Structure 1
Amino acid sequence: MRLRLRLLLPFTLVLAAPAWAADYVAHALRDDSLHIETSDGALRLSFRGAEAIEAHYRPEGRKQLPSFSLIDTAPVPATLDVRDDRLVYDSGRLRAVVHKRPLRIEYLRGDTPLLAEEAGLFHHETLRGFRFRLAPDEKLLGAGQRVLGMDRRGHRLPLYNRPHYGYGSRSEQMYFSLPAVLSSRKYLLLFDNSARGHIDLGKTEPDVLQFEAVAGRTGYLVVAGDSYPRIIENYVAVTGRPPLPARWTLGNYASRFGYRSEAQAREVVRLFRAHDIPLDALVLDLYWFGPDIQGHMGKLDWDREAFPDPEGMLRDFAADGVQTILVTEPFVLTTSTRWDEAVQAGVLARDLAGKPKTFDFYFGHTGLIDVFDRRAADWFWAIYRGLTAQGVAGWWGDLGEPEVHPHDTLHAIGSADEVHNAYGHEWARLVYEGMRADFPARRPFVMMRAGAPGSQRYGMVPWTGDVERSWDGLGAQVELALQMGLFGFGWIHSDLGGFAGGERFDRDLYLRWLQYGVFQPVFRPHAQEHIAPEPVFHDRRTRALAREAVRLRYRLLPYHYTLAWQHARTGLPPMRPLFFEDESDPALIDRHDGYLWGDAFLVFPVVRPRVSVLDVELPRGVWFDFHGGCRYEGGRRQRLPVRREAIPVLVRAGAFVPMIEPVATTRDYRSDRLELHYWADAGTPAAEGRMYEDDGHSFGAHDSDAHELLHFAAEHGAQTLTVRLRREGGHYPGRPDTRRITLVVHGWAQAPQRVQLDGRPLADADLRYDARRRELRASFDWHGEAAVVAIRQPDAE
């Protein structure tokens, strides 16, 4: 018996040995790619841009799924240098060095090494993936929604989209995982695989980054750039740029779990108007299609008992400037009125016997719509199309991880474990592409809890899930938003005020969350209904402070909308990490106590109770208190006062921030009366700013002539501040022919000797100087042509 085991054991080990260390066999250049034949199968290297390259391994006998992440890109010229021991494939900006024996690839930007495969591809039965070397001092961001700290190195993390209800100060697995990292060595690495897996960021082996999955595509993407913003821009050029949302999406939302009737929804809108709190959207959760939480999911039609005239309600809301968003889920319960229809149409995922797969979860006994099946996608979209035609303005896709997804569920292109992490992505795609086909003039709104790399191109507006209504829950939000924003998901946001739990109303927590929300991409209070998320149901003091926050949100609409345009053009998120300020300082990567809101603002959320002062390290430069005007020198620790009315927000010296007066709804938005704020400082001799404008709703306006771009520039001399204005772009409905500009100069030490517009002095009635606030206001009419405002200080005695 021992002899027999000794004879069989080596044979068993050979069968079980993983496939790695393949050798080069041959190569060819064709179809704008480098094709390499290896001893283990095929490898294709394709430049997706001058600083982005895809490596797609296709080992023999391994099923390959399509890429969900990458889009078609134009060919990129590249050269191939063939040597005895290696191939060097070079775009001129990025270089792949393919070592022949054993086959292994390293990547360089110019002559600077970025990263290198360790063993490269491995695959063994139900496990496949890649291994890369890590440098000793390398920091790694990414892997999607987690609450771990900014540098994720040293963690082994599941890649499986899964809810974490009521999370607070820590979470290793959440709704939206991303198989991607951004390195302090200035590269982004995306594993192009939708299957259940793990990413090991130096946890098991300190010097190895390992991606592994149970199935799926064996490919990855390397993106480089000379700065982090440039890396993001190169990344979204390959995975898809986020479309520009409608202006109303930047307004205030009324949302809860949930409004139970048409009468209740109408009353909520009435109360916002009665209390003079701006409102642009109302979100209807589960009860729009049924009176109970359980038993109705999948009906996807109005409960006419609770909502007797939804068409009239939608019309009335729209006439009042309020857009309606409906929740939908991909589950069809067997008790739903659509169950038989879904079965007969063949739109449900299957079990191993070929029948509709059913299973139990919180909401009932259910099936799951197979969004990977074209017939199912068409069936699902037909329902959306009908409701959109009624007047629904936006769509909320909930539970789309999917929340429950048995491994023996079969989809049109593979099993649940093969496609799980792409489910939300394909769901967003069918809604977005349906909107583009049937409602081409509209900008789609697609809010979803889960997706995949590239989902941003379908207008996905993700949120951070069912956060605990606590200070820990609030404290997690900046990290979550910054991490997702680095990978194209700039519209990531939280349920303002917190969603889950809470025994009593905490006014301080609620208001601090709303004050933070002014400077996050979407302003949407949302919570379980036992504590109202809407300010209109709270006491007078709470309403007053909430109103102040919401009005500030609306005053800043020109600035916010310009950030949205910038995000659509370049992928640069509105919320930006502090390490963008000084990329040479790796210590900044770890910070998430504050963040940049665009180019102008530096925001420090208050995430603990009863705080009167924040002690923070400011980035280099000069910063001004946005609310109080105090000047701070950066590059050192500063104590920032915390007011009841606002969290600490600073503005960069040299920043231009356009503002308007608050409006009740973005339907009333106009920029013909524009405040242009500028923070002057002698240490900032020159500065520039921009403001983007269009009609706020037409799709593709920023890619046509139907928009304008206002340019501002400042030059600060010894005695004179010169501000230049110019306009470029075309025409759009509502574009002002003339704007009444009020130039507000902050940090101005004394009343000016004179102020001139294009060489002509402004009248005293158009000037105002506030010595206490050190603020100068100069008003004038601007017709769009190039203009120069010159402000002269009094001559020194």
Structure 2
Amino acid sequence: MMKLRYLPLSLAVLLASCASKPAYHLDGNRLVIPKAGGELVLTPLDADAIQTEYLKAGSQQPASRAIVQQTAVKAELSQKGDTLVYRLPGLRAEIDTRDLKISYYRGEHLLLAESSGFKGEQGVNLGFSLQQGEKLMGGGERVLGMDRRGHKLPLYNKASYGYTTEAAQMYYSLPLILSSEKYLLLFDNTASGEMDLGATQSDQMTFSAETGRRAYVVVASDHYAGLTEEYTQLTGHQPLPPRWALGNFASRFGYHSEAEARDVVNRFKEAGIPLDAIVLDLYWFGKDVKGHMGNLAWDKTAFPTPEQMIRDFKKDGVKTVLITEPFILTTSKCWNEALSAGAITPDASGKPATYDFFFGHTGLVDVFSPKGRDWFWGKYQSLLDEGVAGFWGDLGEPEVHPANLVHAEGSADALHNAYGHRWAEMVYDGVRQHRPDMRPFILMRSGYAGSQRFGMMPWTGDVSRSWGGLKPQVELALQMGAQGLGYIHSDLGGFAGGDKFDPELYLRWLQYGVFQPVFRPHGQEEIAPEPVFHDAHIQKVVGDYIKLRYSLLPYNYSLAFENSTTGKPLMRSMLMQSDDVKDFDNHHSYFWGDAFLVTPVTEQGAKTVTTQLPKGAWFDFWSGKRIEGGQSYTRATSVETLPVLVKAGSFVPMVAPTQSTDSYSSKALTLHYWADPSVTEAQGQMYEDDGHTPDAYAKGQYQLLRFSARQQGGLTVTLASQGQYPGMPKSRQLTLVIHHPGAVKAALLDGKPHSFKQDGDQLTLTFDWDGAARTLDLQ
């Protein structure tokens, strides 16, 4: 029930000019408060999130490019002395009527408080007080450690070529932070700006932008993982990608010819190393690095039969992905066409703007203009019709974006950080409309808050091919995953530089890649990024790890499904899993889903690796050794072994590896369960569909397999399923592998004795399963 009381004299005087209407009022569930020069408006986005805007009189508030979903929530308003109390089920805003500063609470816990509300005639400025001991992650891609408090961060997407162990400004900035106080704060503004996270004043956090939207969003949760889930609910979930996106990619800068591309695909096939995609860098449209960008059509001299090449690759289960850039050089074949179509961003005079950058003299496609989008999309549509399966959008910060450019929706400075976001949206919508049977695959290195809803898979840019380049990759992935970008990944092996091939670095990086969202070795061609160009030992070790990734497809695809429905990233920080602030700074280890705890080796010549284990029982994935948690665990490591532990009580479905995901089948399914007396109840699931139908889950074209275990004396494992999809296995041959079952005298399947094999700490039994509920009792 809304409770309104008389206004205090201070507010009545302040708002005397608004006497014709209530000084403050609820408009539906929005709280509207007159403020000098405009209105302060608080809007409930859902039970745990409030959007706060300052609507300046006579000024148009730009629409949010981040927020896409709002849930109807009943808000309550009351007054307590000089304080207005605006209450949602999970979040409360208290507004001081004397200065209109706002404080936010969850229950009785103060989350954050404004130190200065929206102010300034020039630009957009906002300030908050920081609490003692408060830690902050966020700001997008940065290499600064997990806690970014004490840093001043530019909000301007910018290339960071050859970075290593420190980088304050990179390809994908985000104007948001996640606090150890369990709130998320999004400064919803796409313009060039800055976040000062206690750098200038240790107890102050400020946001500023040159222009644009005066709005921010506060999200609250009882759990750190809940902040990411809530945020992605508001800004849009990542669509489930095609299954092949979880396979192995052949990629380099770059393949110069059709013959070279065909050769690399054949090498993978001959080596028996699985392959699902080949990525063609800029040589597909020009023989040189400079002068050809913007051609957006095959160089038929180097690629004489591209459509046949694509068809041939497809027969082998290999999809073709092409790089594109938004720059159209004046020397390119498309320059005059782009000019005639009105696709090039103009300057203030209205004339198409041109300027110089590394690749030549150029104009920039205006993805904010209907003419620019229509012309640009036409190029993608033609490539789709030729059989191209995915697109790679490069240089989309944009890498060079002069301030004098004027886009159809605003100035370059106002829209800089939204360029990649709008570009990804254009490609995503185009693919969905032109190929409604196809899930879009989109690599991009720059975007804005909410870009994940366009299927964007960002990578961490042109990282140095060095140990220094490998070291920050977990930090980058965990940070971006918490900020909604669950498919962030690195150029495996490193991209930039490198005097000679370092086999140890290469192996360590590609081992880590097995447990990151996209497996794409990529680098400058002076050192081959593909394992098939290295010696037999490298091919064997890397090949076995790639096959492990293919064996894990049922588990990994289920993580992708979970991300698409909850926003939880595939790589999860220790903090996200433990909910304990002591894990805030840990970027050495991470969870791959809920089952695996991975500690990449990032020190050259390392003989041992140390992992801070959460409480509970753990098992070495390779040896099966049981380790008690809640302590620091050090294990020996060789260059062939990535330290991976499995949490007791974990279900992990696996299949035999195939040469391509086109041959994927779960008809023969192996289900692993790691048992331990300390885990009395456990659950797991496996999601499956045909791997390519868009919105399969929403359409009901899926099957969800559910697993549970109960261990109280004996061990009981229960299987169940729901749903179906075209082409699904009518029955599966299920091999159940129980790790550490203890001494077993008998196995009863649905109450009847069933044969089993027990070898040391592993018990195995096999039976046919049609999806009906089944129960296994081990006695």
Provide the TM-score with structure 2 as the length reference.
0.96
CA distance, structure 2, for counterparts of residue 29 and residue 82 of structure 1: 13
Partner of 1:770: 759
1:529-544 counterparts in 2 under 5 A? 529-544=525-540
| Per-residue deviation, 1:63 | 5.2
Partner of 1:371: 367
Secondary structure at the counterpart of residue 290 of structure 1: coil
| Candidates 751, 757, 764, aligned match of 1:759 | 751
1:195-210 counterparts in 2 under 5 A? 195-210=191-206
Partner of 2:776: 789
CA distance, structure 2, for counterparts of residue 264 and residue 581 of structure 1: 45
CA distance, structure 2, for counterparts of residue 637 and residue 83 of structure 1: 50
CA distance, structure 2, for counterparts of residue 338 and residue 294 of structure 1: 15
CA deviations 1:458-493 (Å, max 9, x no partner) are: 000000000000111111100000000011100000
Q: Is the 8 A contact 2:30 2:42 kept in 1?
A: yes
1:223-234 counterparts in 2 under 5 A? 223-234=219-230
| Candidates 599, 611, 633, aligned match of 1:616 | 611
CA distance, structure 2, for counterparts of residue 403 and residue 185 of structure 1: 35
Partner of 2:144: 148
Residue 450 (structure 2) pairs with residue 461 (structure 1): no
Partner of 1:13: none
Secondary structure at the counterpart of residue 662 of structure 2: helix
Q: Is the 8 A contact 1:23 1:103 kept in 2?
A: no
Partner of 1:14: none
CA distance, structure 1, for counterparts of residue 578 and residue 610 of structure 2: 20
Secondary structure at the counterpart of residue 426 of structure 2: helix
Secondary structure at the counterpart of residue 88 of structure 1: strand
Partner of 1:191: 187
| Candidates 113, 131, 144, aligned match of 1:116 | 113
Secondary structure at the counterpart of residue 120 of structure 2: strand
Residue 739 (structure 2) pairs with residue 746 (structure 1): yes
| Per-residue deviation, 1:742 | 0.8
CA distance, structure 2, for counterparts of residue 481 and residue 524 of structure 1: 15
Partner of 1:105: 102
| Candidates 719, 722, 735, aligned match of 2:716 | 722
Secondary structure at the counterpart of residue 210 of structure 1: strand
Secondary structure at the counterpart of residue 581 of structure 1: helix
Report the AA paired with residue 768 of structure 1: K
| Candidates 105, 129, 136, aligned match of 2:132 | 136
Q: Is the 8 A contact 2:501 2:527 kept in 1?
A: yes
Give the number of equivalent residue pairs: 761
CA distance, structure 1, for counterparts of residue 578 and residue 431 of structure 2: 41
| Per-residue deviation, 1:783 | 1.3
CA deviations 1:401-428 (Å, max 9, x no partner) are: 0000011111112111111000000000
Secondary structure at the counterpart of residue 141 of structure 1: strand
CA deviations 1:659-713 (Å, max 9, x no partner) are: 0011100000000111100111111111110100000000001112100111101
CA distance, structure 2, for counterparts of residue 240 and residue 523 of structure 1: 24
| Per-residue deviation, 1:82 | 4.0
Give the RMSD, CA atoms, in angstroms. 1.3
| Candidates 705, 708, 713, aligned match of 1:713 | 708
Residue 39 (structure 2) pairs with residue 42 (structure 1): yes
| Per-residue deviation, 1:105 | 1.0
CA distance, structure 2, for counterparts of residue 671 and residue 613 of structure 1: 37
Q: Is the 8 A contact 1:54 1:221 kept in 2?
A: yes
| Per-residue deviation, 1:111 | 2.5
Residue 471 (structure 2) pairs with residue 479 (structure 1): no
Secondary structure at the counterpart of residue 496 of structure 1: coil
CA distance, structure 1, for counterparts of residue 392 and residue 641 of structure 2: 30
Q: Is the 8 A contact 1:581 1:619 kept in 2?
A: no
1:235-274 counterparts in 2 under 5 A? 235-274=231-270
Q: Is the 8 A contact 1:63 1:216 kept in 2?
A: no
CA deviations 1:25-55 (Å, max 9, x no partner) are: 6223225422221123112211111111111
1:211-222 counterparts in 2 under 5 A? 211-222=207-218
Partner of 1:76: 73
| Per-residue deviation, 1:768 | 2.0
CA distance, structure 1, for counterparts of residue 517 and residue 129 of structure 2: 36
* Structure 1 unmatched runs, 5+: 1-21, 793-797
Secondary structure at the counterpart of residue 702 of structure 1: coil
Secondary structure at the counterpart of residue 124 of structure 1: coil
| Candidates 503, 506, 525, aligned match of 2:502 | 506
| Candidates 295, 311, 331, aligned match of 1:335 | 331
1:283-302 counterparts in 2 under 5 A? 283-302=279-298
CA distance, structure 1, for counterparts of residue 153 and residue 430 of structure 2: 35
Deviates more, 1:99-108 or 1:193-202: 99-108
Secondary structure at the counterpart of residue 457 of structure 1: helix
1:486-635 counterparts in 2 under 5 A? 486-584=482-580, 586-635=581-630
Partner of 2:725: 732
CA deviations 1:747-794 (Å, max 9, x no partner) are: 2344x211111011113xxx22222xx1111111111111001111xx
| Per-residue deviation, 1:62 | 4.8
Residue 346 (structure 2) pairs with residue 350 (structure 1): yes
Q: Is the 8 A contact 1:23 1:100 kept in 2?
A: no
CA distance, structure 2, for counterparts of residue 457 and residue 617 of structure 1: 34
CA distance, structure 1, for counterparts of residue 436 and residue 52 of structure 2: 35
CA distance, structure 1, for counterparts of residue 199 and residue 254 of structure 2: 42
CA distance, structure 2, for counterparts of residue 274 and residue 398 of structure 1: 31
CA distance, structure 2, for counterparts of residue 212 and residue 569 of structure 1: 33
Provide the TM-score with structure 1 as the length reference.
0.94
CA distance, structure 1, for counterparts of residue 489 and residue 323 of structure 2: 17
Partner of 1:700: 695
Partner of 2:8: none
Residue 659 (structure 2) pairs with residue 664 (structure 1): yes
CA distance, structure 2, for counterparts of residue 410 and residue 86 of structure 1: 43
1:408-427 counterparts in 2 under 5 A? 408-427=404-423
CA distance, structure 2, for counterparts of residue 270 and residue 581 of structure 1: 42
CA distance, structure 1, for counterparts of residue 113 and residue 341 of structure 2: 49
Deviates more, 1:57-66 or 1:323-332: 57-66
Q: Percent identity?
A: 53
CA deviations 1:567-591 (Å, max 9, x no partner) are: 000100010111123323x221011
CA distance, structure 2, for counterparts of residue 441 and residue 488 of structure 1: 26
| Per-residue deviation, 1:72 | 3.9
CA distance, structure 2, for counterparts of residue 100 and residue 432 of structure 1: 45
CA distance, structure 1, for counterparts of residue 449 and residue 54 of structure 2: 19
CA distance, structure 2, for counterparts of residue 512 and residue 628 of structure 1: 19
* Structure 2 unmatched runs, 5+: 1-12
| Per-residue deviation, 1:23 | 5.4
CA distance, structure 2, for counterparts of residue 264 and residue 183 of structure 1: 49
CA distance, structure 1, for counterparts of residue 382 and residue 27 of structure 2: 46
Partner of 1:780: 767
CA distance, structure 2, for counterparts of residue 137 and residue 553 of structure 1: 40
Report the AA paired with residue 508 of structure 1: E
